[in-house]
């Protein structure tokens, strides 16, 4: 919570003070990040309020760079005397750190501007105006719809509505200053159905947005969660085989996450990516174009400047199957002789590192049903489990559930199978991309089909 000593002081002013104090203590270069927030969480389960949490926070992260020696510290004690001591201690730590010739702040010519924040639609005053009663009502509507959707829904894990109203401010010693407010709202529901053999079949669905107007209808979120649970009743294992695999949009998003983790300058200089040496070469099928765009209005990953104050921009990772390049922050760019792509992410206690913002697999022209129509036998994936992905080699193996496809139609639900392959081969074997682009947080993808993967069952 904000202390009395900092009450009413804007986040940008706190960041300025930290930089001034660090410079006064002898810092060569420094930057300060302040993050403030008020969060609420409401969970309704079986018609009753099970959880109601409201909390506020403010924190400051300070990075000091002394002749290539870097120290990063964080604090929530922002009283004047405490902040002065904190800045001095951070400078002392930097003086004894190991030197790194690539450490440093961005060039001023790369700085972005917070003036662009308003156009990005990152703040919705309607979220701030929601009362506790209204939040409970939204969660209640969602869970009630899930329970009423089908008589086979016997239980739920509740419906949870979460909101956040906050501000981000960044100041550095080379003259950058920027701040912007941001809001978020999310709703998630999990419904449970009982199978004939006594197994519980859970199904969940969610919506997460920057603004209340974009949040999915609460009742529809509940109904979809219920349907996904009921659809898994009677699920069984197919025999082990090699067949086409179709990923629904939410599962296709998970493939984007694997690729993005490999397409960073950090992964490249550490030798921890299968994408090394592939820039400018075919990687995926011509159906595949993937962009990282922090300038999309109202989206979770949007931001006017990155974690170092660099202007953000749209970056194309894959264009019509060709791998166009990696995402860089200033450090990884210097280390590899490249230029920053404005892709630095930052936490209070961690330094900048390259990361994706809004990651989008561009939709195709086909209806989702067209991807099933010519499949004689195949798997339609609606759930993935485990973390079986090796970024250095691209090897992929994950537990899955969904539906078996026969003669172009959904035949029966499938559970406890494993799908395996190599991400590079999987991307190259995408032979269909649908037109049903759907957003899940900061990522979006349509339904896609991979020509063949190994499906391990019984």
Q: Does residue 86 sit in the same domain as residue 169?
A: yes
The verdict on residue 249 lying in a domain is yes
| Residue 270 pLDDT grade (very low, low, confident, very high; cuts 50, 70, 90) | very high
- Predicted pLDDT at 387: 83
- Predicted pLDDT at 458: 79
- Predicted pLDDT at 8: 66
Instruction: Collect contacts of 270-277 with beta carbons under 8 A, ≥24 apart.
Output: 271/392, 272/391, 272/392, 273/391, 273/392, 274/391, 274/392, 274/393, 274/394, 274/423, 274/424, 275/323, 275/326
The verdict on residue 113 lying in a domain is yes
> Is 55 a residue whose pLDDT tops 80?
yes
- Predicted pLDDT at 7: 56
| Residue 2 pLDDT grade (very low, low, confident, very high; cuts 50, 70, 90) | very low
Tally Cβ neighbours within 10 Å of residue 148: 13
The stretch 354-364 carries a mean pLDDT of: 98
Least confident piece of the model among 49-63, 83-97, 112-126, 353-367: 112-126
The stretch 318-325 carries a mean pLDDT of: 98
Distance CA 350, CA 327 (A): 18
- Predicted pLDDT at 115: 80
Q: Does residue 406 sit in the same domain as residue 445?
A: yes
Average pLDDT score over the chain: 96
> Is 367 a residue whose pLDDT tops 70?
yes
Phi, psi (deg, nearest 5) at residue 446: -100, 180
Q: Does residue 170 sit in the same domain as residue 51?
A: yes
Model confidence pLDDT, tens digit, residues 375-424: 999 999 999 998 899 999 999 999 999 999 999 999 999 999 999 999 99
CATH code for the domain of 58: 3.30.2290.10
% of the chain at pLDDT higher than 90: 95
Q: Does residue 254 sit in the same domain as residue 386?
A: yes
> Is 91 a residue whose pLDDT tops 70?
yes
Model confidence pLDDT, tens digit, residues 280-319: 999 999 999 999 999 999 999 999 999 999 999 999 999 9
> Is 5 a residue whose pLDDT tops 60?
no
Q: Does residue 311 sit in the same domain as residue 206?
A: no
The stretch 66-73 carries a mean pLDDT of: 96
Q: Considering 169, 197, 229, which residue would you say is the last residue of a domain?
A: 229
**Number of structural domains, the chain?**
2
Q: Considering 198, 214, 229, which residue would you say is the last residue of a domain?
A: 229
pTM, whole model, 2 decimals?
0.95
The stretch 47-65 carries a mean pLDDT of: 97
Model confidence pLDDT, tens digit, residues 148-166: 999 999 999 999 999 999 9
- Predicted pLDDT at 434: 98
Q: 169 - beta bridge partners?
A: 34, 179
- Predicted pLDDT at 411: 96
Model confidence pLDDT, tens digit, residues 110-140: 999 888 788 899 999 999 999 999 999 999 9
> Is 3 a residue whose pLDDT tops 60?
no
The verdict on residue 165 lying in a domain is yes
Q: Does residue 215 sit in the same domain as residue 281?
A: no
Model confidence pLDDT, tens digit, residues 338-353: 999 999 999 999 999 9
> Is 247 a residue whose pLDDT tops 50?
yes
Q: Does residue 241 sit in the same domain as residue 186?
A: no
% of the chain at pLDDT higher than 70: 98
| Residue 198 pLDDT grade (very low, low, confident, very high; cuts 50, 70, 90) | confident
Distance CA 72, CA 329 (A): 17
| Residue 1 pLDDT grade (very low, low, confident, very high; cuts 50, 70, 90) | very low
Q: Considering 209, 229, 249, which residue would you say is the last residue of a domain?
A: 229
- Predicted pLDDT at 457: 87
| Residue 172 pLDDT grade (very low, low, confident, very high; cuts 50, 70, 90) | very high
Name the residue range of residue 103's domain: 11-229
Q: Does residue 34 sit in the same domain as residue 162?
A: yes
- Predicted pLDDT at 4: 37
């Amino acid at each position: 919570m904000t202390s009395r000593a900092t009450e009413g002081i804007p986040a940008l002013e706190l960041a300025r003070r930290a930089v001034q104090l660090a410079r006064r203590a002898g810092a060569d270069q420094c930057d300060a990040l302040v993050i403030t927030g008020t969060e609420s969480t409401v969970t309704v389960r079986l018609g009753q309020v099970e959880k109601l949490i409201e909390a506020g926070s403010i924190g400051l992260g300070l990075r000091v760079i002394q002749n290539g020696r870097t120290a990063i510290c964080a604090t929530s004690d922002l009283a004047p005397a405490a902040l002065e001591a904190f800045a001095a201690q951070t400078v002392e730590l930097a003086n004894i750190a190991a030197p790194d010739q690539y450490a440093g702040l961005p060039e001023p010519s790369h700085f972005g501007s917070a003036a662009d924040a308003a156009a990005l639609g990152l703040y919705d005053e309607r979220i701030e105006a929601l009362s506790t009663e209204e939040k409970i009502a939204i969660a209640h509507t969602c869970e009630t719809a899930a329970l009423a959707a089908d008589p086979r829904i016997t239980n739920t894990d509740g419906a949870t509505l979460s909101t956040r109203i906050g501000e981000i401010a960044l100041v550095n010693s080379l003259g950058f200053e920027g701040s912007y407010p941001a809001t978020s709202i999310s709703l998630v529901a999990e419904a449970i159905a009982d199978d004939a053999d006594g197994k519980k079949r859970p199904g969940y669905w969610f919506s997460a947005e920057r603004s209340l107007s974009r949040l999915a209808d609460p009742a529809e979120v509940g109904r979809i969660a219920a349907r996904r649970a009921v659809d898994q009743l009677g699920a069984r294992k197919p025999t082990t085989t090699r067949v086409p695999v179709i990923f629904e949009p939410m599962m296709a998003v998970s493939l984007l996450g694997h690729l993005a983790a490999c397409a960073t300058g950090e992964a490249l200089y550490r030798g921890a990516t299968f994408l090394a040496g592939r820039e400018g070469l075919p990687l995926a099928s011509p159906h595949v174009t993937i962009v990282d765009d922090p300038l999309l209005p109202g989206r979770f990953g949007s931001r006017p400047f990155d974690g170092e104050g660099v202007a953000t921009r749209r970056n194309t990772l894959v264009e019509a199957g060709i791998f166009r390049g990696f995402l860089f922050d200033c450090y990884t760019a210097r280390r590899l002789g490249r230029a920053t792509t404005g892709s630095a992410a930052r936490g209070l206690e961690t330094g900048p590192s390259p990361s994706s913002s809004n990651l989008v697999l561009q939709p195709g022209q086909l209806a989702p049903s067209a991807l099933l129509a010519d499949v004689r036998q195949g798997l339609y994936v609606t759930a993935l489990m485990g973390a079986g992905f090796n970024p250095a080699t691209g090897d992929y193996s994950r537990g899955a559930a969904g539906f078996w496809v026969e003669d172009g139609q959904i035949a029966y639900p499938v559970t406890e199978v494993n799908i395996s392959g190599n991400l590079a081969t999987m991307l190259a074997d995408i032979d269909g991309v649908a037109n049903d682009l759907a957003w899940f947080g900061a990522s979006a993808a349509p339904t896609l089909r991979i020509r063949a993967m190994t499906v391990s069952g019984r």
